[in-house]
Amino acid sequence: MVKNLSFSYSKMGMYKECPQKYKFRYVHMLPEKPKYYFAFGSAMHAVMEFIYNPAKTVFPTLQEALAFFESEWNKTSFEQKGYASVEKELEGYAEGRRILETYYAQNSATFTHPLSVEMKSTLELDGLSLISILDRMDYLGDGQIKILDYKTGKTVQREPDQLYMYQKVVENSPTIKALVQAKDPKVKEVRVGELSFYHLPTMTELKFERAPDKEIFEFWQGVLQIAGNIRAGKFDPTPGENQCRWCDYRNLCPVFTGKEYDGPSGWAARNFKREAAPQTVAVPTEKQPSPEKSEQEQLSDKIDRLGELAEEQQRLEKEIIALFQKNKFERHFGKNFKAELVPAEQITIADTVKTVELLAKLGLLAKVSAPTKTTIARLLTDKTVSAQDKAQLQTLVQVLKTWRLNVEKSE
């Protein structure tokens, strides 16, 4: 029996953008670089789920929502989120707080519990395992559902494919039907009553009516056509200025390298670590302690060995960064590991004691929870710190833009 193809709105979008890109992402299983707008969107979605959690009888206060947002935000670094710098990440954090404050001011008096929030649905249909995450569903009565999708990008516009996909899922899902029947046992059939995109940055709601069955039928034929192409291994690249400029796979793409990428794919890619051939490169291993040596001597040996490895690591990193820069690479793959060049900041403080004295003199010590390199450097981009104070700080604190190497096991 042929296994259902795992599919979603975002997978379909990527295939339509460029089948080769889809192949890199979902056949060769190569993850994309983190994108700050996804990280921002996911933190905002998490906090909306926290606010509207149907399992809670009382809605959280603004302060509780802000505290939840802060803890979500701080789970990852600015690099893991995909921001170019700490300053950009702070701007994102401030924007998230602004949105929440405005959202509460405009909506908290009329908060009501939805039917579901952030519901992950998997629908088995026509040979597809269709995965959707429905941000919010409200029950309108009489078997009718309102689907609400939170948007956090710069603008919001009608995305017909997404609306059609939601409608297809909601009206065919046995799980959603069971959810509605638990609330209203008379219901025989679930229908979409309204679809809406809620743009959080501007608090604007765009509402759409249920699409006619004919449009859904044509949309679904298109979905099945794409699924058929994927099954048939049709992944010809469709290069274009916009999609190639921002594509994470440029360094591997046949359009740019002139040759097919022949890395592992599918099951082999997912299990690459287990399946990989035995290491042929000599890997430095820890020397076994000699039984005659005292514990102090063994400790000295270990310290020397660690120092040697650290020196070796530094030397290799320098060489790899130089090669990345020479070849204009952002990412490259070994057999078992991948390396990525990520922007970093090197913060130097000429004299820590003098810096702390200066902070006290300028009345800025209270602004840093602890006077570390990072917290002090943040003052240089803090809008509430005057230009004069920043100029004085810059005589002692310097932030240099640099690069560092991120090395991890290939997935």
**Interface ranges with ligand SF4 (CB under 6 A):** 18, 20-21, 237, 239, 243-244, 247, 249-250, 253, 255
Smallest gap from residue 195 Cβ to ligand SF4 (A):
30
Nearest to ligand SF4 of 90, 244 (CB atom): 244
Q: Which is nearer to ligand SF4, 257 or 402 (CB)?
A: 257
The residues, any chain, with a CB within 8 Å of residue 343's CB and separated by 6 or more, are 79, 84, 85, 401, 402, 403
d(CA 24, CA 8): 17
Q: Least separation, in Å, of the C-beta of 253 and ligand SF4?
A: 3
How near is the Cβ of 307 to ligand SF4 at its closest, in Å? 43
Distance CA 354, CA 385 (A): 19
Choice between 108 and 243, CB closer to ligand SF4:
243
Secondary element (H or E) of residue 308: helix 295-327
CB of 13 to ligand SF4, least distance (A): 13
CA gap 168, 128 in Å, rounded: 13
Which amino acid makes up residue 98?
R
Based on CB atoms, which residue is closest to ligand SF4, 250 or 338?
250
Strand, helix or coil for residue 133: strand
Supply the DSSP symbol for 365. Answer: G
258 versus 363: smaller Cβ distance to ligand SF4 = 258
Q: State in angstroms the smallest separation of the CB of 245 from ligand SF4.
A: 9
Based on CB atoms, which residue is closest to ligand SF4, 3 or 259?
Answer: 259
Q: Residue 212: is it exposed, middle or buried by C-beta count within 10 angstroms (0-12/13-18/19+)?
A: exposed
Smallest gap from Cβ 34 to ligand SF4, in A, equals 17
Query: How far lies 137's CA from each of 180, 192, 338, in Å?
Result: 10, 10, 40
CA distance 383 to 207: 37
Question: In the complex with ligand SF4, which residue's Cβ is closer, 177 or 250?
Answer: 250
Q: What is the CA radius of gyration of the chain?
A: 27
- Shortest distance, position 377 Cβ to ligand SF4, whole Å: 36
Rounded distance between C-alpha atoms, residue 390 and residue 78, angstroms: 23
